[in-house]
Amino acid sequence: MTERRGAVEVGTSDPGAKLSARRVVVEPYGIELGPLGHLAEERQRLATPRFDHIGVIPRGTTVGAEITGVDLRSNLSDQVIGDLKRALLDYKMIYFRDQPISSEQHIAFASRFGDLEIHPFIGSNTDHPELVRFEKSADTGGFENGWHHDVTWREEPSMGAVLHAIEVPTTGGDTLFSDVAAAYDGLDESTKSRVADLYAIHDFMLAFGAQVPPERMEATRAKFPPARHPVVHTHPDTGRKLIYVNRYFTSHIEGLPVDESIALVNMLAERSEIVEYQFRLTWEPHTVAFWDNRSVQHYATSDYWPDVRIMERASIIGPRPL
């Protein structure tokens, strides 16, 4: 970069010329600048998909791929399902365009990957309790605009979720996904050491407690007690380490003073906010997204009020995080 004032040369090079793949912190605001070099190997691995029964178009750096050549209304072969499972593990979030599936077809597809959960706090499709229904309008605002894994307050949180866009606004209403394996890899070694053996307590009360009538609180508490999960979860299929706390459901980190716990959860949760870890999906009618609820956190933008946005989600029960 060169700035000239009269005949005086002030600068002679790009300020990033000597940074290579190194991240730097710029004071006094503590902002991080520079490339995230640790993404390169995964990005290059994912750049050339190799699947026999589906088309895969990478759309994000390390998360997000569009699937082609698949009709979710049909009875998919085991070979196609096998490729989709592998694509989900690789790209963490996959999506399909132009899939006008019925509720029954939605449930049938999601069930190919495991048993489906029933959500106790969010309204469902009237005829199909397996489908959580998000119907937003001028009368009902969207409050999903925070980074989170789904239902970490369960002893066995979701393995994944299949979300069908039934009606979407002309603009707005995108959903962002952030790669929490990449976010973990980007932590410095001292932080990795600090969080390695910590456990967090997750509780439905933070997000859903106000919905439970007082007379049903004791029974609901007994059915859904606070869940204890590792702060760093090891993915059961890929073996990768993942940040597994969020500000929707994480009550506190076990054994830490309150202020220290809040600060650590905030710092770890903020890693999902780094744009380089993200993929942003712009919905179209009958887009279907399928994400690995262990490998990504997601954020549904609430920028479309008072327009209508209707989505339905089937969630697949997963194993207990380890």
pLDDT in tens, 281-301: 999 999 999 999 999 999 999
d(Cα 161, Cα 291) in Å, to the nearest integer?
6
The three-state secondary structure class of 120 is coil
Cα 259 to Cα 40, 54, 216, 266, distances in angstroms = 36, 49, 31, 11
The three-state secondary structure class of 293 is coil
Q: Where are the alpha helices (DSSP H) in 155-255?
A: 180-185, 189-195, 205-208, 214-223
Domain extent listing, the chain: 56-317
Which pTM was predicted? 0.92
Q: Which of 15-19, 118-122, 199-203 has the highest mean pLDDT?
A: 199-203
d(Cα 32, Cα 44) in Å, to the nearest integer?
24
pLDDT, tens digit (0-9, with 9 covering 90-100), for 211-235: 888 888 888 889 999 999 999 999 9
Active-site positions?
A: 148, 150, 298, 313
Other C-beta atoms within 10 Å of 172: how many?
Answer: 16
Q: Which residues of 25-47 are buried (b: 16+ CB within 10 A; e: fewer)?
A: eeeeeeeeeeebeebeebeeebe
Q: Are 193 and 184 in contact (CB under 8 A)?
A: no
Q: What is residue 2's predicted lDDT score, i.e. its pLDDT?
A: 35
* Amino acid occupying residue 113: F
**Pair type for strands 288-292 and 158-167:** antiparallel
| Residue owning tokens 């040369």 | 9
Q: Supply the CATH classification number for the domain 56-317.
A: 3.60.130.10
d(Cα 187, Cα 115) in Å, to the nearest integer?
34
| Residue owning tokens 């009360």 | 205
Q: What is residue 16's predicted lDDT score, i.e. its pLDDT?
A: 57
| Counts of helices then strands in the chain (DSSP H, E) | 8, 20
Residue 150 structure tokens: 């789904």
